[in-house]
A = this chain, B = another copy of it.
Amino acid sequence: MKKKYLMTPGPTPVPPEVLLTQARPIIHHRTPEFDQVVQNCVEGLKYVFQTEKSDVLIFACSGSGVMESSVVNCFCAGDEILIAINGKFGQRMELIAKAYGLEVSVLEYGWQEVVNPLDIAEYLEKHPSTRGVVVTQSETSSGVLNNIEVVGDIVKGYPECIFIVDSITGIGAVDCKTDEWGLDVVMTGSQKGLMLPPGLAAVSVSPKAWAASERSTLPKFYFDWKKYLKSLAQNTTPFTPAVSLMIGLDASLKMMREEGMENVIARHARLAEATRQGVVALGLELFAPAEGRGNAVTPVWVPEGIDGKQLVKIMKTKHGVTIAGGQDDYAGRIIRIGHLGYFDDLDIIVTLAALEMALLELEFDFEPGSGVKAAEAVLMGVKS
């Protein structure tokens, strides 16, 4: 027997009480029972997105689908948009926008850099006809947290330009004040902070984004926001929804409301800090820069002389702990420890202990127990 622990930034662990909803006999989606589920999910998501002004729409698709929905609903071919890229998912938005014939300008940063809002301000001054700015709030690939509050403030000054935020691993882990910060389009996926299996994605649409959608001429059908909005007036969906996942979402959103959004975010901040202090105490180096570290995932440099893929493999096979490796250029060079969604204090201890044992096996030179000790200090609120 080997107990298994899923410590990745998506899919994330699903709470047992939510998992059990997935085993319930299926119900029909055109019924008062399911209408109630839709209503609960939308209200719960508005709470999580911290919005009263925006509509929240739910799709049966994964995160990339909802990213595509933001492009096809808000723009026309030839529209100029600016994408700030400092990781894999910013790159994906670029691919989508180009697939639909948008004129894409890119502010490219290294994966270890945060997006500089001043660069965006400068760009918009020079290119006032820009129709949209896209920023990934929390990069799953690098753990970098971008300051979307400041960017929101800048984009507010351009009435024809909307601000699109990929918060797929942000929502539920870090603060995302949709209304207050002027975020026109915010996206998330079910298998992240919402503590569900993958297969659902949600987007919030501000009045400014709806106005943009009015002039959009890009072809669309399944991802046509207006169809979803129209159905939502009757608490239903234009196409068959992922019934069981929606019922699960209803359950997980209730858990988040019970805990309270502030507490959810504070818990993630505590777990992230414990993870960071833990790995640093082991003598490892954090990948994300001090000025922008998110709460969803902690990427860590694999120390010299250690094979990163081997490290991940030992943690999984010997200790049952699945963490993520690096993507693209960083495959084998970094490890990524997820603490997004259904995570609590002792999950961090479990991961750090497994990491310590794997490093010991690989003969890395460090003080055994030091990582766990440092994490405990954070979890107990002791300043180091």
Q: Which B residue's beta carbon lies closest to that of A192?
A: B240
Known: A22-B244, A240-B62, A242-B62. A198 touches B29 (CB 8 A): yes
Binds B, one of A11-19, A173-181, A272-280: A11-19
Q: Pick from B22, B62, B240, B322: contact of A63, CB below 8 A.
A: B240
A8 to B28, CA, bound (A): 8
Within 8 A of B (CB), among A292-318: none
Q: Is A332 an interface residue (CB 8 A)?
A: no
The interface residues of chain B lying within 8 Å CB-to-CB of A218 are 219
Contact call A240/B191, Cβ cutoff below 8 A: yes
Known: A11-B29, A14-B26, A26-B191. A197 touches B243 (CB 8 A): yes
The interface residues of chain B lying within 8 Å CB-to-CB of A14 are 25-26
Shortest Cβ gap from A380 to chain B (Å): 29
Known: A198-B241, A198-B243. A25 touches B10 (CB 8 A): no
The interface residues of chain B lying within 8 Å CB-to-CB of A283 are none
Q: Pick from B10, B62, B221, B240: contact of A99, CB below 8 A.
A: B221
Q: Is A60 an interface residue (CB 8 A)?
A: yes
The interface residues of chain B lying within 8 Å CB-to-CB of A29 are 11, 198
The interface residues of chain B lying within 8 Å CB-to-CB of A189 are 240
Within 8 A of B (CB), among A204-251: 218-224, 238-245
What is the oligomeric copy number? 2
Q: Pick from B27, B199, B245: contact of A6, CB below 8 A.
A: B27
Q: Pick from B4, B20, B68, B239: contact of A23, CB below 8 A.
A: B20
Known: A189-B240, A221-B99. A19 touches B10 (CB 8 A): no
Shortest Cβ gap from A26 to chain B (Å): 5
Contact call A241/B28, Cβ cutoff below 8 A: no
A29 to B324, CA, bound (A): 11
The interface residues of chain B lying within 8 Å CB-to-CB of A6 are 25-28
Shortest Cβ gap from A347 to chain B (Å): 14
Q: Pick from B10, B19, B77, B95: contact of A24, CB below 8 A.
A: B19
Q: Which B residue's beta carbon lies closest to that of A97?
A: B221
Q: Is A96 an interface residue (CB 8 A)?
A: yes
The interface residues of chain B lying within 8 Å CB-to-CB of A238 are 64
The interface residues of chain B lying within 8 Å CB-to-CB of A200 are 199
Q: Is A61 an interface residue (CB 8 A)?
A: yes
The interface residues of chain B lying within 8 Å CB-to-CB of A241 are 62, 198
4 more CB-based (< 8 A) A-B contacts, given A6-B25, A20-B23, A68-B222: A19-B23, A64-B238, A99-B224, A218-B219
